Chains A and B, each alone.
Chain A
Amino acid sequence: MTIARLFIANRGEIAVRIVRTCRELGIESVVGVSAVDRDSLAAQLADRAVVLGPAHASESYLRVDTNVAAALGTGCDAIHPGYGFLAESPALASAATAAGLRFVGPPAEVIAAAGDKLQARARAQGAGLPVVPGREIATLAQAEEFAGEHGYPVLLKAAAGGGGRGIKLAGDLEQLRLGHALARAEAGAAFGDERLYIERLITTARHIEVQIAADEHGGVIQFGERDCSTQRRYQKLVEEAPAPRLAPELRAALLAAGVTFARAIGYRNLGTVEFVVDVAAGSFHFLECNCRIQVEHPVTEAVYGLDLVALQLAIADGQPLALTQEELAPHGHAVECRLVAEDPARDFAPSPGRVTRFAAPELPGLRVDTHCRDGTLIPPFYDSLMAKLIAHAPDRGGALATMGQALALLEVEGVATNRELLARIVGDPRFIAGDVSTTWLAEALA
């Protein structure tokens, strides 16, 4: 390993997580923090912490120039961006590389290609992956023709737009006619472009993603899948590996598709290819590619018995993958719950504040990734993730039992959390049966 000192451009539990691997590998760690995170656990555990700027992320964690200057000024040879913040910023990847630092992630051009949803979709399609049926339409007749081919419901959106603006849902021909007129007018008003995109809505979907890794020598492998269907407002709450009740042929096809996409886009380092799985039809469609380590990576680590951050560093170091696909097999089942500082009494509004008490139980098969201790401040400036509880057991039932016990024994005081909701989810008969889609939790809470 030629990386001797790593700069961690992140905070919270993932910064702590990366420091831990650095210690195991004998790599020195420097964490860049905002002024409010000066006394954070990551800052205490790292060999050195430097204050990047004020609390607001736009003046600290999101500043490419400051992070690169801090990495150079502290004598680091590589930058790990974690997840969120600058993790998928082509600007950080290229600035780091230009400054002679190794960027622990894919090259800037891969991040840019994967980050552009239409380009990523086109690449996936070009590589023969199924994508959610959809196309650009110029007229209502074309919209009707599409719906006739693929069936209802369909979504109409501005071809030029993004961010979910002006999306119309149509469940039948009448709604399609009405929605088409409205969507066209709105697209014209919002983007100065009346072109529309029509897409089949997959109603009973599961979110299943494939963990892939690619070295700089053409090697690509996959580390199985994760099921992240239990979501609330597009926020993942519970993830697991392997995905429950997934037909073996469907699993094999998903994993192969993940590797195919990685090769097609010239992927490097650790990444995740996300799919929406149509349970009713038994089919799947490419959704997007995430060019970073994921929050939920520990469930994969648990079942494969490896350290994905160490793997990222080895790849960034230029080493070929030390494992072959044939050597890899998942063992048992792992479940992760995300404990967040959100107040269920106020519709899960963020509840920053001082954690007066935080103690996770020690149970066989339980791992806790956290930046919380007694007295930790959850600042109001960043995301509300407090801890990830990961339970690993020989089977899914055992993992869920451990998780239930962990959530019951967890001591957390001072801030409101979603602990009760997590306990309800892992104890729910529907969840236990492995039979949930991405809309399940919202429906169950309604």
Chain B
Amino acid sequence: MALSDDDVREILRIIDSSQLDELTIETPAFSLHVSRGATAPGPGGASPNPPPAPAPTTAPAPTPEPAAAPTPPSTLAGTREIVAPMLGTFYRTESPSHPPFVEVGDGVRDDTVVCLIEVMKLMNHIQAGVAGTIVEVLAQSGELVEFGQPLFRVAPDGA
């Protein structure tokens, strides 16, 4: 089975009329990955924003543990959000006696651990996935966070 031009147009029409940012279709005959926004200009048009992060799910095999939370373009010009890569309980500290992994004003690298997300007693260390400065903490320690929920706002380096 081959995709016709009409099929492609229909798929694009579905994407355009939907809230979806990405669509992956896998059939025995073909696999298709479509994402939008990844190559579009960042918010603010010709601003000096760094390009938005590439779509994170193009890997052919599933990674056992997300190395970093995806950082989609933020709604606030010049900042990015670190979002929860999984649902679970959000913790800002390694344990109650430890200080928070990061505070507002702290610099982070791509691989800086910024929080824990606990799923049924399993602690997942979440990395920033972006280099910059924490400007806002968006979630409460000890609360349930959903997949994709913004956790921190970061001013990226060079912004």
Chain A residues within 8 Å of B, Cβ to Cβ: 32, 35-36, 38-39, 50-56, 59-60, 65-66, 68-70, 73-74, 95, 99, 352-354, 377, 380
Contacts and interface: CB of A to CB of B under 8 A. Distances in A.
B87 A52 contact: yes
Interface stretch (B108-116, B125-133, B140-148, B151-159): B140-148
A440 to B, nearest CB: 29
Given A53-B87, A65-B120, A377-B14, 17 more contacts: A36-B20, A38-B19, A51-B147, A51-B149, A52-B87, A53-B86, A56-B24, A60-B147, A68-B120, A69-B118, A69-B119, A69-B120, A70-B87, A73-B87, A73-B88, A95-B120, A353-B14
Contacts of B87: 32, 50-53, 66, 69-70, 73
B120 A73 contact: no
Contact of B14 (A54, A95, A354): A354
A5 to B, nearest CB: 13
26 contacts: A39-B19, A50-B87, A50-B146, A51-B87, A51-B146, A51-B149, A53-B86, A56-B24, A60-B147, A65-B119, A65-B120, A65-B122, A66-B88, A66-B119, A68-B120, A69-B87, A69-B119, A70-B87, A70-B144, A73-B88, A73-B143, A73-B144, A352-B14, A353-B14, A377-B18, A377-B19
A337 B32 CA distance: 32
A354 B86 contact: no
Contacts of A36: 20
Contacts of B23: 380
A354 B148 CA distance: 23
Contacts, number: 63
B40 interface: no
Interface string B1-39: 000000000100010011110011100000000000000
B58 interface: no
B89 interface: yes
A69 to B, nearest CB: 5
B33 to A, nearest CB: 12
B47 interface: no
Q: What band does the interface of chain B fall in when counting residues whose beta carbon is under 8 Å from A?
A: 20 to 34
Top 10 A-B pairs, shortest CB-CB distance: A73-B144, A51-B146, A65-B120, A51-B147, A53-B147, A50-B146, A69-B119, A65-B119, A353-B14, A380-B25
A341 to B, nearest CB: 12
Nearest to A39: B19
A65 B124 CA distance: 13
Contacts of A73: 87-89, 143-144
B159 to A, nearest CB: 27
Nearest to A65: B120
Given A36-B20, A354-B14, A66 B86 contact: yes
Contacts of B19: 38-39, 377
Contacts of B24: 55-56
A56 B62 CA distance: 11
Contact of B17 (A68, A70, A354): A354
